[in-house]
Amino acid sequence: MLYIDGQWQAAASGATFAVTDPATGKVLDHVADGGAADARRAIEAAAAAFDGWAGLTAYQRSEKLYAAYHLMLERREDLAKLMTSEQGKPLRAARIEVGYAADFLLWFAEEAKRVYGQTIPSNRAEQRFMVLHQPVGVCAAITPWNYPVSMLTRKIGPALAAGCTIVLKPAEQTPLCAIEVFKILDEVGLPPGVVNLVPTSDPVPVGAELLSAPEVRKLTFTGSTEVGKLLMAQAATTMKRVSMELGGHAPFIVYDDADPKRAATGAAMVKVLNTGQACICPNRLYVQRGIADAFIAALADRIGKMQAGSGFTEGVQIGPLVDQPSLEKVDRQVRDAVAKGATVVTGGQRLTDGPLADGYFFAPTVLTGVTDEMVIYREETFGPVAPVIVFDTEDEVLAMANDTEYGLASYVYTNDLGRAYRSIEKLKFGIVGVNDINPTGAAAPFGGVKSSGLGREGGQDGITEYLDTKLVGLSF
């Protein structure tokens, strides 16, 4: 179903599309297939609702977000199970994601009340300057499938807190999770039109409608860099504000003073996060020569023992990839690397034994001897493959780490404070984890530089993305 102007409804065309389980290939459900006409109605509803919503007090808006936070936690188990069916991640990881998603509702329920202004002294005695922050207006949100609940609340939370209304287009693979999130928003009693949901099997006409609409004042997008650039160009025609959370190609640097086993444990865990389908997953693991053998052995041991399968099976750490093209991309990158001289230490191929045959499973893999001529060295993998590169000096590794168009997450393992600090300052990334594989949280500003995007989500910065600054000059 679509959710427009407070009503669950079919698409204007009457069309639906199938949603499948990536672990089994089975159809889970059919969802209304929104088109340009539906997007237009959603925009009009959001525009009509804007003045009323923006006109509420921050306390009133905050109450709705608190209510949504509590309801989401009450539904945690059901939402997690649905996510495992629809997206494939292990149930334990799905539960964690629902908690993370709810955190954004809580954080922005609190931030709603902290949209402060400013007074600035003037050099004229009879003049005062004042700065106000006001909601930007109707926002279009386009979200990916890999975190099908938290990527929604990371946008809806701050938009609603700021006083904006929103039209959201979820990923084609995960509309069912989006529908459950919107059921929560419906049940907490948001006024009609404040939030609107338009799932679709064809993002182009819906995206074009959202981006050409003069009423839409902001685009908030999470997805690939390729699509992000396309949407940003479309948004330019009506000079919308944009927030872009795009792809990554994270370096994971292990210096020779670090404990190789501890670093390998961290690397393995963050590499297989969401089966490698997270924008912060390391895509290049750099280890200093002195501890390279110990690190590679520990990494291969850890990754080689990981169990792949249905996310509902206890002990499974590796779920399926989301679809066939994703599986083919991972396979193509591994074959390219091997053809150019890389060694497969563990894994390296598709998994098709028994029940895995029906899903999109790829073995957790460690590659060594990876060089910058290989596709995997530059292209985001989005799969459970860990490419290892050995380095000698700090300068050398920082230059290699920065040699990418991306700039989202980066990681450093060291016990040397100087090395840590120099690396933090020199890495051209929006996020640096130092002996830390989870540098994220609702209270922290998440985002990238270069082709990884613009703007920040979460933290204090998260809400400013949805606020315009107004300067007032007041003379008397």
Catalytic residues, by residue number, are 245, 279
270 Cβ contact list (under 8 Å, min separation 6): 252, 280, 281, 282, 411, 437, 438
460 Cβ contact list (under 8 Å, min separation 6): 111, 114, 445
Return the residues of window 438-457 that contact ligand NAP according to CB under 6 A.
448, 453
* Residue number, 248 or 319, with CB nearest to ligand NAP: 248
Single residue of 143, 196, 288, 333 touching ligand NAP by CB under 6 A? 143
For the CB of residue 476, give the shortest distance to ligand NAP in the complex, in Å: 47
Single residue of 158, 163, 247, 359 touching ligand NAP by CB under 6 A? 247
Examine residue 203 and tell whether it contacts ligand NAP (CB under 6 A). yes
Single residue of 18, 130, 204, 471 touching ligand NAP by CB under 6 A? 204
CB 362 within 8 A of CB 350: yes
Single residue of 86, 180, 245, 394 touching ligand NAP by CB under 6 A? 245
CB 284 within 8 A of CB 401: yes
Single residue of 5, 29, 172, 379 touching ligand NAP by CB under 6 A? 172
Residue 103 in tokens: 């955190």
Examine residue 209 and tell whether it contacts ligand NAP (CB under 6 A). no
* Residue number, 203 or 364, with CB nearest to ligand NAP: 203
For the CB of residue 171, give the shortest distance to ligand NAP in the complex, in Å: 4
Q: Is 430 left (phi over 0), alpha (psi -120 to 50) or beta?
A: alpha
Which class for 333: exposed (0-12), middle (13-18), buried (19 or more C-beta within 10 A)?
A: buried
* Residue number, 143 or 365, with CB nearest to ligand NAP: 143
Please write down the long-range contacts of 424-432, taking CB distance under 8 Å and 24 or more positions apart: 426/398, 426/402, 427/251, 427/398, 427/401, 427/402, 428/402, 429/250, 429/251, 430/456, 431/280
Single residue of 146, 368, 404, 451 touching ligand NAP by CB under 6 A? 146
Examine residue 45 and tell whether it contacts ligand NAP (CB under 6 A). no
Cα–Cα distance between 41 and 44 in angstroms, integer? 5
Examine residue 207 and tell whether it contacts ligand NAP (CB under 6 A). yes
Return the residues of window 275-294 that contact ligand NAP according to CB under 6 A.
279
CB 271 within 8 A of CB 386: yes
Give the range of 10-18, 79-87, 168-176, 462-470 binding ligand NAP by CB under 6 A. 168-176
Residue 42 in tokens: 């959603």
How many residues sit in the footprint of ligand NAP (CB under 6 A)? 28
Cα–Cα distance between 394 and 402 in angstroms, integer? 12
Cα–Cα distance between 88 and 81 in angstroms, integer? 10
DSSP element (H, E) containing 192: none
Half-sphere exposure of 193 (CA within 13 A, CB side): 17
* Residue number, 97 or 111, with CB nearest to ligand NAP: 97
Single residue of 223, 311, 359, 462 touching ligand NAP by CB under 6 A? 223
Single residue of 33, 44, 380, 465 touching ligand NAP by CB under 6 A? 380
For the CB of residue 35, give the shortest distance to ligand NAP in the complex, in Å: 12
- Site residues (vs ligand NAP, CB under 6 A): 142-147, 151, 169, 171-172, 203-204, 207, 222-224, 227, 230-231, 245-248, 279, 380, 408, 448, 453
